[in-house]
Each structure stands twice: as structure tokens, then as C-alpha cells.
Chains A and B, each alone.
Chain A
Amino acid sequence: MDTHDLRLLANRIRRRDLQAVYEAGAGHIGGEMSVTDLLTALYFHTMKVDPAAPLDPNRDRLILSKGHTALALYVVLSEKGFLPKEEIATFLQHNSRLNGHPNRVKVPGVETNTGPLGHGLPVGVGMAKAAKLDGADWRTFVITGDGEMQEGSNWEAIMAAAHFGLDNLTLIIDHNRLQQGARLEDTNNLAPLPPKLAAFGWTVLEIDGHDMDQITAALSADNIASGKPTCIVAHTNKGHGISFMSDNVAWHHKVPNEAQYKQAMQELENAQ
């Protein structure tokens, strides 16, 4: 898919996500809007995955380590054909497969169960190592939140990935500068992230995480330096695409009221 179509698709995914949050009365809309462009590019441009064979041993792997934004992943998986599109309407409903955090046992296309922050990257290291042991060429992608990078487990995995020379592993940090209760800089500031990853021996790319040209270029295998894992620091906005949510910490998991919902939907429609 070219970047023009990717932009249109990401817009549609944002609208479906917004509607589901509004109807379910819950969700993590801020982080979902910030990660949507990244997920769209991965599933519709970069990754080799087949909804007809979700467990194909040679598939590329994606771990949404910031599992609280599961809804964005569910919508992307439904667009890709892993789930019926109608099923998004069951989000959080009694006995739905689609709870607030992704479950690989129930939802095809999900690789590992996330929700507690700081779990995805270690699992991704294991996946990438398995591919190396097999001499296979599938890639592993992990998306973490920037607040999530405060978890020590990530840094243990960062050391291991570099030590093992896992050039088939790509970490994408959704760097929206906000965490749950406040800005990162007012909580436990990790910025600037790139020199930290570089110091651990990773190749680091910095991009605008809402620019499809930059996203697709950064995800390309051409950037891989042999023997080094890659980290893409994606500069994003929490609540991206909706003016009153954008870069506003109040919208970590707030639910829009009717007027806010209508305005948000209008803004997304106008942006098509």
C-alpha cells in the first residue's frame, strides 16, 4: 500500500477506534491515537503476515507492549482480516474476546499477552533469538510507550539484544512525551532516548511518528546494520488527530462525552 492509502486507512482506523471507545465507555484513546500510524504502516506496508495463516512459522512478529492500547491493534487486525470487522463492536462486552489488553489465546494475530508494562521487549528478544537459531529471515517488531521505558526489564532486554547481535529486532518507542498521570519530564524523564539506546549498541533512527513516508522508510530492512538491533524513536502526540486531546495528559483514558465525540469525529473526517 502506498503512503497516501496508508494515511487514509489510518484515518479510518482512528475513527473506528474513537467510536468503539465512545460506545464501550472505556479505552485508552490518547495512546491509541499516537500509535495508530505506526501499527497501520507495520501491518499494511512492512510486515509479512497472512490472516489465513496467523501462525505461519515464517511470519513477521509484532508485539504491542503498550497493551493498554489494545483497541488500536484490534481495529488494525480487523482491517487486515484477522477478525471480523463487526466484532469491534463487542469491545469490553460481557464474554467478548476483546478485553482491555490483547490475549493471544483468544485473538488471532496477537503474539503475546501484554498489559503489565515492560514485558514485550524481553519476549521480542526471545523471538528474534529463535529466528537466529533457525537461520530464518522473519523480523520481530516491538512497540513500547515512552513511559513504559521506565521499566527496568526493558533495559535488561536492550543489553541482551545488543549482546546477542539481534539485527532482526526492531524496537519502536512511541515517544508522545506523556505517561498516565503527567508528562515524562515531570515524572521520571528519560529524554533524550536516542543517545541511551546508542550507548547500549543499538542503531537509532528518529522520525516523525505520524509521517507515513518517514515511518515506512524507517521500517525498511535497508536500515539494518548487520549485528545491531534497531530502535526507532517515533516522535508522536498522544491524542493525535483530535485537537483537544492532542498532547493533553487528561486524555490517557478519558472517554469523550457526546459533544466531544461529535467534534472529534468531525475533525477526523475533515482530515481525510
Chain B
Amino acid sequence: MTAPFQNAKLHDCRDAFTAALEELAAADGNIVAVCNDSVGSSKLTGFRDKFPERLINVGIAEQNMVGVGAGLANGGKIPFVCAASPFLTGRALEQIKADVAYSQTNVKLVGISSGMAYGELGPTHHSIEDFAWVRALPHVPVIAPADRIETDAVIRWAATYQGGCFLRLSRVGVPDLLPEGHVFELGRANVLCEGSDVTIIANGVLSHRAVTAAAVLEGQGISARVLNMATVRPIDQDAILSAARDTGAILTCEEHTTFGGLGSAVAEVIVDHHPVPMTRLGVPGVFAHTASAEQLLDDFGMSPQAIADSAVALMGRKG
């Protein structure tokens, strides 16, 4: 396997999100979209044109937006509440806690342009704390799909799932990773590459970088397993423990601070059940400098080459 994705077409997963949402809404009149002056950035213009009365734009008022979502759910609607992820999760976190998680309402929270997708707009617009914030709450699965196919599958799953959830989408182009027709299962990771020397666990925009890193490692004679772990809560304990037993070392990569996200969730399982050496890549607890989304990932040690180098260093710590 050499240089995967070289000429691969890149897709903005927001398109897969709204295509699926429009199809589901055509079949189910209870599906509504709620947003905060984010019709364009959430790619809801098509939804608005097809179902104008079912697009509820509350204006620039995120706390109200999530509360309204909870009320709509109480009234039997299936609200997809869409906003830039930092404002959805950061601004309305207590609404998410009390009105969605604690009240166990059927609100689908869709965080758009999450991670560092907003690049140069800076830390106020980065959403690299959202795994940690929402993962701390009961009753709200946290899911970050990796490509257009998984995004489509996750939206279809969310529409039928009874309960709240947080779907973390990006706007940065990503290649296809999962097979066409893939069906999403909550809390179940997918093996993107088999391997026995080390395991790389990633999700969202990092999954394809992890696959490329595995190709780099293969060139060095190292067999890396790559797990695409879209669900951060509930975490796939079985896949993590198999990886620990089979490969003896786990590297996590995420477009998130290393405080409390995917790496932390994996480490919790490892510490409790089967300690092995781990390295957690991510944003190391800082507010990012000015750079584009892709540049920031490179700067924080998550280029495919740097991921591979971290994997090699990690293997040196195996017993």
C-alpha cells in the first residue's frame, strides 16, 4: 500500500448531511431543522426551499436555539439543531445538559465546521473542546464521522435513534474511506487497516491521515492497525482492548485538545482494563496560532509523516 488518496476526490461532509436530511424529511414530516442565522454555513438552503415551514431560524441566539429544539422534541418533532460547533456546544452547553441530556429529549445536535475547520478565524471559532464537554454528559452519544459515506449513515441512524445525540461534522474536504452503503452502528469502530505492531485510532478529518500514516509505516516494515472510531461516547471498549492485546501500543489522533477527547476516552479504557503504552496526538492544551485548518493539523504533529514518526517512537516504549 503506497500513498493512498493521491488523486482521490475530496468531499465536504456538509453536503452528505443535508442530502440525507432532505431525503429523510421528504419521507417524515416530523423532521425539522433549527439554526442560528446559519442557513448557508449549515448548507440548509435546499432544506429551506423544499420545506420552508420546517426550517426554524431563531436568529443569532444559540441558547434559545437548543431550548427551542427541546420544545420541538417534546411536541413530537425530530429537530436537527444545526450551528457552528463552537457556538452550539460552547454557548448552549447548559441547555444541552439540562434540556437535552438530563431531560432526555430527542434532539439531534449537529455541530458544523467543528475542530479547527475555521482555521484563520482563530480559537473563538475552533471547536476543539466539544468532545470533552459533551462527552461528560449522560444520554448524549458523541459521534464524529470521517467521510461523506459515514456522514450519510450517521444522519440516517440519528433520525431513527430515540434520544439526543451530538454529531460533529467538518467542512474540510475528505476522501472516501468507508464502503458505499456502510451502515452506522453506535459505539462500534471500523477497522480501516489490519495490523499487528501498533494501533492508530482516529476519527473525523484525522482518519484518512491515519490511513496514510499506516502506509508510511508499512514502507518501514511496520504493520499498523487503523481504527476509525467515530463514536467517542459510548466508546468501543472491545475494539480498544483487542487493539491493546493484539498490538501492544495505541496512538490516538484527533482534531481536539488532548484534554478530555478521543485520546482520553481511549486511555480511560486502557488504564482500567489493559494498560499498554499510549500516545495521544491532538492540540496540546493551547489556543491555536493563525493558520489554515490543514496547516494547523500539520503544525500540531498530525501530518501523516509525523503520525508515523510518533507511532515509531511509541513502539519503542513497548515492553
Q: Is the CB of B86 within 8 A of A116?
A: yes
Give Cα A187–Cα B38 distance, bound, in whole angstroms. 11
Q: Is the CB of B125 within 8 A of A101?
A: yes
At the interface, yes or no: B59 with Cβ under 8 Å from chain A? yes
Q: Is the CB of B59 within 8 A of A92?
A: no
Shortest distance from the beta carbon of A212 to any chain B beta carbon, whole Å:
29
- Give the contacting residue for B39; candidates A67, A99, A181; CB below 8 A: A181
Give Cα A26–Cα B61 distance, bound, in whole angstroms. 25
At the interface, yes or no: A93 with Cβ under 8 Å from chain B? yes
Q: How large is the interface on A (under 10, 10 to 19, 20 to 34, 35 or more residues)?
A: 20 to 34
Q: Is the CB of B120 within 8 A of A26?
A: yes
Q: Is the CB of B124 within 8 A of A67?
A: yes
Majority SS at the chain B contact face: loop
Stretch at the interface among B73-81, B193-201, B287-295: B287-295
**Residue with the highest number of chain A CB atoms closer than 10 Å, among B38, B59, B125, B292:** B59
Q: Is the CB of B60 within 8 A of A98?
A: no
Residues in chain A near residue B91, CB distance under 8 A: 116
At the interface, yes or no: A94 with Cβ under 8 Å from chain B? yes
- Give the contacting residue for A150; candidates B39, B59, B121, B124; CB below 8 A: B59
Q: Is the CB of A99 within 8 A of B122?
A: yes
Q: Is the CB of A96 within 8 A of B124?
A: no
At the interface, yes or no: A248 with Cβ under 8 Å from chain B? no
Q: Is the CB of B37 within 8 A of A181?
A: yes
Give Cα A97–Cα B120 distance, bound, in whole angstroms. 11
Give Cα A26–Cα B121 distance, bound, in whole angstroms. 10
Residues in chain A near residue B41, CB distance under 8 A: 180-181
Interface residues of B (CB under 8 A from A): 37-41, 57-61, 63-64, 86-87, 90-91, 118, 120-122, 124-125, 289-292, 295
7 residue pairs bridging A and B, Cβ less than 8 Å apart = A94-B289, A100-B120, A101-B125, A150-B60, A181-B40, A181-B41, A188-B60
Known: A101-B124, A179-B37, A188-B61. 16 other contacts (CB 8 A): A67-B124, A94-B290, A99-B121, A115-B121, A115-B124, A116-B87, A117-B60, A147-B60, A148-B60, A150-B58, A150-B59, A152-B61, A152-B63, A181-B41, A182-B39, A188-B60
Interface residues of A (CB under 8 A from B): 26, 67-68, 92-101, 103, 113-118, 147-148, 150-152, 179-182, 187-188
